[in-house]
Amino acid sequence: RKEVEQDPGPFNVPEGATVAFNCTYSNSASQSFFWYRQDCRKEPKLLMSVYSSGNEDGRFTAQLNRASQYISLLIRDSKLSDSATYLCVVNNNYGQNFVFGPGTRLSVLP
Amino acid sequence: EPEVTQTPSHQVTQMGQEVILRCVPISNHLYFYWYRQILGQKVEFLVSFYNNEISEKSEIFDDQFSVERPDGSNFTLKIRSTKLEDSAMYFCASSDAGATYNSPLHFGNGTRLTVT
């Protein structure tokens, strides 16, 4: 099983739509979880950390289910500027290492 | 907002040559990382560095790779004898409290390495 897996995508949605991304991780001892976004040929940028109780930042909501080793990201009222690849990132608790998922590409269409 | 800076933005080199990629992490951060991303593929961990030594490295980080923090600000990645398959975007990142403390990575803009 791969360390971090994500919905393969791509997701093509109209402006204003709600879209959800899923991520699973294999290391049950992982403690730190993040969503990053990456624009084409650019560096990953932190979108939000994911906390145990779930957290929201404007139109973005992240959820963590430790029992199922599952993380989700919900984007409401999608904007054209949300078009990017969304990366699920989890720490490898055996060391100082963050593991990236393969990413899910989102295209928001006018 | 403090930034991680990387130079050069693009490096072209011939196979077998040595390259040094440079990074200036955020000044109060203690953990430093190199990742790479081959075009169209996922971001892959290379090495982490803390307290002036390597704390973890991946299988990719073989004997041709080395890292150094030569002074209080720079963090470098050296590839001794480049191969065609080393062509990728190399990202430097730093964090203040490390992977187990929910402290996120802050990335530089990357260096695109092209080996011909």
| pLDDT, one tens digit for every residue, chain A (110 residues) | 679 999 988 999 999 999 999 999 998 888 899 999 999 999 999 999 999 889 999 999 999 999 999 999 999 999 999 999 999 999 886 667 899 999 999 999 99
3-class secondary structure, A13? strand
Residues of B within 8 A of A41 (CB-CB) are 89
| Best residue in A23, A45, A96 for a mutation probing chain B (most B CBs within 10 Å) | A96
pLDDT one-digit tens code per residue, A92-102: 866 678 999 99
Q: Count CB pairs under 8 A between chains A and B.
A: 70
**Over 80: is that where the pLDDT of B7 sits?**
yes
Tokens of B60: 């990719």
**Over 70: is that where the pLDDT of B100 sits?**
no
- Is A5's Cβ below 8 Å from some Cβ in B? no
Q: Which residue of B has its CA nearest to A47?
A: B104
- Is B89's Cβ below 8 Å from some Cβ in A? yes
Nearest to A34 among B35, B101, B104 (CB): B104
Phi-psi region of A41 (alpha: psi -120 to 50; beta: other; left: phi over 0): left
- Is A101's Cβ below 8 Å from some Cβ in B? yes
Following DSSP, what letter does each residue of chain B receive, concatenated? ----EEE-SEEEE-TT--EEEEEE--TT--EEEEEEE-TTS-EEEEEEEETTEEEEE-TT--TTEEEE--SSS-EEEEESS--GGG-EEEEEEEESS-GGGT---EE---EEEEE-
Q: Do A103 and B89 touch (CB under 8 A)?
A: no
